[in-house]
A and B are shown apart, each in its own frame.
Chain A
Amino acid sequence: MKDKLQKIVRPADLIVVAAVLAVAAVLWAVLAHLTGTTAQIVCDGEVIATIDLSAVKEAYDVTLDNGVTVRVEPGAICFAASDCANLLCIHAGKLTRAGQSAACLPNKTLIRITGRDRRGPDALTG
């Protein structure tokens, strides 16, 4: 029985899984730490709009030249409408934290929240 189990999974496999999950957790924690509220709309690699989301009082829509509509809300930004086939950009949902981004690849459009730390580093080690 133990022999059979050894063929299905071995300790080294579990270590690999644990290592990947640990890296994911660390990345997640680091990204969650960078809270900022400046959003950018990027078209074809060029930043076409920079929006301070903390200054937004009421939600509004921005329709770009390529037909993509981006909704800007207080503290959040998301794709609202697009003519692409898979609509992955809309399914990406609302972006609220620094480092988050969503893209509509068929229309070469990207929205993202840029990382801006509010108060500088929490700690320094020498």
Chain B
Amino acid sequence: MNDKRRRLTRLTVTAMLAAAALAMSFFERLLTAGLPLPPGVKPGFSNIAVLFACAAVGLPCALFIVVIKAGFAFLTAGATAGFLSLCGGLLSVLTMFALLKLKRERLTYAGISVCSAVAHNIGQLGAASLLAGSALYLSWLPVLLVSGAVFGAVTGVILNVVMPALTNVRFLR
């Protein structure tokens, strides 16, 4: 009974986090709609939900959210966007999982978030190169590295700030 209940809780929390991730990416699109951001550069607020999922619930939960996000991108922006989202998301989750597994007394979520944002951008760039059948996307890499560092730090600091409040929520434990 207890085990069943735990599984049910995990399912519910995963669904909630997936919904939160989608809501945050939608909100982000509204926020940046008028800004002349270069292609591929975006805040990545949904990374907050994914990193929280990976840290507090587990790797399957984070992977599930990434797949749902890619599915959402597929439905709203097309197959190309879905594929790019999936490649970036998977690489970013694997990066954060590896970093969380390592002893992380020194690194906070800010550092992990920067690494996963950079991994996300590299994954997308790699996928785009694959689709275009050309590896000459290298020139875009510096821009995406800087944007990953800046926005990854922002989302990571946000998670650092809200994490104490979230760990007080009983059913999340």
Query: Which residues in A have some Cβ–Cβ distance to B below 8 Å?
Result: 7-13, 15-17, 20-21, 23-25, 27-28, 31, 42, 44-45, 85-86, 88, 91-92, 97, 99-101, 103, 105-106, 108, 110, 112, 114
Contacts and interface: CB of A to CB of B under 8 A. Distances in A.
B114 A17 contact: yes
Interface string B115-145: 1001000000000100111101111111101
Interface of B: 38-39, 77-78, 80, 106-108, 110-111, 114-115, 118, 128, 131-134, 136-143, 145-146, 148-149, 153, 156-157, 160-161, 164
Contacts of A13: 107-108, 110-111, 114, 153, 156
B145 A9 contact: no
A27 B153 contact: no
12 contacts: A9-B160, A12-B106, A12-B111, A20-B114, A21-B145, A44-B133, A45-B132, A99-B136, A101-B136, A103-B128, A108-B131, A110-B136
A31 B140 CA distance: 10
A9 B156 CA distance: 9
A20 B149 contact: yes
Nearest to B163: A7
Contacts of B110: 8-10, 13
B107 A99 contact: no
Contacts of B80: 105-106
A21 B30 CA distance: 28
A16 B77 contact: no
Given A42-B132, A42-B134, A9 B157 contact: yes
Contacts of A16: 107, 111, 114-115
A24 B147 CA distance: 10
Contacts of B132: 42, 45, 103, 105, 108, 110
Nearest to A98: B139
Contact of B138 (A8, A10, A99): A99
Contact of B77 (A7, A86, A97): A86
Given A99-B139, A105-B131, A20 B108 contact: no
Contact of A23 (B136, B145, B156, B160): B145
A45 B133 contact: yes
A106 B78 contact: yes
A45 B130 CA distance: 10
A109 to B, nearest CB: 8
A85 B77 CA distance: 9
B26 to A, nearest CB: 16
